[in-house]
Chains A and B, each alone.
Chain A
Amino acid sequence: MARKSASLTGNPRLSQWIAFLTDGRFELRLGKVELGQGILTALKQIALSELRVPEEAVVLAAQSTDAVPNEGLTAGSLSIANAGDAVRRVCVQIRKMFVAAAASASGIPVSSLVVKNGAVLDDTGRVVATYQALREHVNFDVDVVDADEGGQEASGADNGLSLLRLDLPDKVYGRPTFIQDMGFPDLLHARVIRPPVHEARLGVGAEDVLAQVRSPAHVHRDGSFVAVLADTEEDAYLEAARLAAVIPWDVRAQMPPRSVRLATWLREQPAEAAVLQDVKPTGAAEGQEFRRTYFRPYIAHASIAPSCALAEWANGRLAVWTHSQSIFHLRAALAQALDLDVSAIVVHHVQSAGCYGHNGADDAAFDAALLAMNAEGGRPVRVLWSRPDELGAAPVGSAMTADVTARMDADGAVSDWSYEVWSNGFLGRPGFSGNPAFLGESHRVGRGPLPPSADPRPEGGYGIGRNAVPGYELDGVRIRQHRLLTMPIRTSALRCLGAHFNVFAVESFMDEMAVAGGFDPAAFRLAKLADERAKQVIQRAAELAGWSERRAEDGFGRGIAYARYKNVSAYCAVVAEVEATEDLKVRRLVVVVDAGRVVNLDGVLNQLQGGALQSVSWTLKEEVQFDQSGITSLDWEQYPILRFTEVPRVEASVIDRPEEPSLGVGECVNGPVTAAIANALHNALGVRVRDLPLNKDNIIRAISDSPD
């Protein structure tokens, strides 16, 4: 019997998850939130398939801390497993309750009854009773039982069918739907003025600048936390821009110096060391020794919408509207930062643009809450971040560097693998490390600075060390990590955390050994995998890409990469085809994923295509720029992302395994795509680039550094 998911453990009552409305519809109460990944649609699809009701019979409850179960964070590619399991069990139990009630009322045995379209039918297809008619005979105020999943018998909706995205029509037909589209009567508009790097205070002369604020706008200042407020958005926006251009900041952070390469700087910082694995080789550990070093820079979330929040303080109660990944953790952190009782705060979730991890959402929520508590007349406040702040003040994904060594014998067997990685932590979320960790809070009188980010523990799938353990049969594996204790550039969780860089490094290194030994890179990997599911994604990707038919062609190259996300989640293999003449262009990606039982196939493919293209962007273009004054990549020209004309063909497919637990696919593609591109680049040019991004500068440097 499958273990109950984490979502149920904290929320054991059926009535926490679902209500039977008086009009006969079901209201599904979900704690996982929509980030653009399609999770609400997939979860509703599970409910429809297990309740056996038409689409309009299930509605989703508005998500607030007053109304939905606490499912923690929507992150880590865990929603379909945890929330999916919860919804499935709940709906199976409800269906069985109705069937039992119908059996009891009619005398027909349970085994002769089926459910179709919200009605219980006998084996002639006659309606015995509708759900609505059985209302008085079912009670949802019970515990969720430890029943087997309903699954196979008749979950038609799961088998290759895909409920259309519930939220897409409003977005396509231009109807207001995002948090940025929300408003209230008598709303006060706010813009926060922020320093170019988090560890900073207002400089000398700031007070004079702020005194120049032009009516009807006014300023709220608390230490170095500064906001401009006005009755109209344009007045707050224009006035904030005007003041921000001249306000002086005193940068306290020791930024990485330009004279020293960032990879070197990472190694030199004070850090907390940890050994993640230390398995000694049992065999002879012979063969050629390989030693390589890899690097990736800081990478920004770069969501298309700047973060936004609204808040209202009335009658001693705080209400906040946010796109945070965890409304419950946020509520606790707000209570701590604002010295309120948790019971005095309600947090509502409203969608924003794509969320790829811990971005500015929580900070914007704090900004709005603080300003609302200081707003005259209890007016509600709306905060919208600026684009420069979204790129420069939100946390970013850490820069990372690693040394990899191993031995490979004449037969290609690899032993004595050592991996040592340096990085900032990936856990700076508010409410997670005993510190409210809000950017705005850190700038208030007597507070701050933000402590260096912590890192998820092993139970949380690691951060820095995620996928540092290679998923191959290797004789002897030693993994060490160093978490930096200085954090001039603010880091936290960005999609797949350390797995992006670790998979890039591991899969590049595997490729380097394979090529040096004259082994086919796909066969080299297959020979070191015992897991059939791992082998099959590689074999399928190779087959679909015509891997064995490839021929060397001037300026063209192919590369392959594989990883199992977190070593326990979805399996992914990627073949990349690149053209490397003037610039590096990715022409085609073949992506094959095994995510266990597929719920919403189109949703899965959408996420795989999306994750792949985002990773192409990271790989070819992205690096946070900075100098001694702070972060300087503050607009789309200084932080370019992939454009329509640069997009390769992406052929994504899935190996569906209905008998296996569902696994999330939001993060499994990024690492393998980067590695496959790097491997393809080597195949095209004969040059190994070990520093991301694979832009002109890094490629040219690798060419000039290389021994030939």
Chain B
Amino acid sequence: MAIKTLRLQVNGEVREVTANPKAPLLFVLRNHLDLKAAKFGCGQGLCGACFVLLDGHPTQSCDLPAEAAEGIDIRTLEGLDSKPLQDLFIELQAGQCGYCLSGILVSATALLKKGRGFSREEIAKALDKNLCRCGTHGRIVEAVFRAQEA
């Protein structure tokens, strides 16, 4: 399997990584750059646990080859300024196992960058590509809703 030096723009920095260019971006972020927030959930782009922002859009990183992400602005949860939102997740205890939260926080951060004043229904719609199996949806939507006033 080929190895290549990839230049990736991650969280505002240019990072050079020597890896299989076909490696899913998720593994490069987690294993080569030690950015563990984005999670492996399915590898099929269907659950949102692996979401990162690519040019500001929530995008699955699990089925995107790393070489396809060169030249694009990549932001992981670690590189997002989401503290008020995250603080609300703590305040409302919006988590049970918490595995889905990184991907959800990335989606929610992108939404709140677009504006404020979203209804709970609109927030739910924005999070619809994220799966939560423990059933914490209600608290999560509430936390995002309240973050609009933060």
Contacts and interface: CB of A to CB of B under 8 A. Distances in A.
Contacts of B127: 644
B33 interface: no
Contacts of A237: 24, 27, 43
Contacts of A180: 39-40
B46 A635 contact: yes
B44 interface: yes
Contacts of A386: 43
B130 to A, nearest CB: 7
Which 6 residue pairs spanning A and B have beta carbons closest together? Answer: A36-B97, A613-B135, A171-B98, A174-B37, A234-B23, A610-B135
Size bracket, chain A contacts:
35 or more
Contact of B93 (A215, A602, A635, A636): A602
Nearest to A187: B31
Interface of A: 35-38, 162, 164-165, 167-169, 171-178, 180-181, 183, 214-217, 232-235, 237-239, 302-306, 351-355, 384, 386-387, 602, 606-607, 609-614, 617, 635-637, 641-645, 647, 649-650
Contacts of A232: 19-20, 23, 27, 31
8 contacts: A165-B95, A217-B1, A233-B30, A239-B1, A305-B41, A352-B97, A644-B127, A644-B137
B36, B37, B98, B125: residue with the most chain A Cβ atoms closer than 10 Å? B98
B99 A353 contact: yes
Contacts of A643: 128, 131
B138 interface: yes
B55 interface: no
B74 interface: no
Given A386-B43, A645-B124, A171 B101 contact: yes
A178 B132 CA distance: 16
A645 B132 contact: no
A164 B93 CA distance: 7
Contact of A644 (B41, B49, B101, B141): B141
Interface residues on B, range: 35 or more
B93 A606 contact: yes
A641 B128 CA distance: 11
Given A233-B31, A611-B135, A647-B138, 10 more contacts: A172-B89, A234-B19, A238-B23, A304-B99, A355-B97, A387-B41, A387-B44, A606-B136, A606-B139, A644-B127
Contacts of B42: 306, 387, 635-636
Contact of A354 (B47, B97, B102, B124): B97
A238 B22 contact: yes
Contact of A238 (B20, B89, B98, B135): B20
B97 to A, nearest CB: 3
Nearest to A610: B135
B43 A353 contact: no
Contact of A613 (B77, B97, B137): B137
B133 A172 contact: no
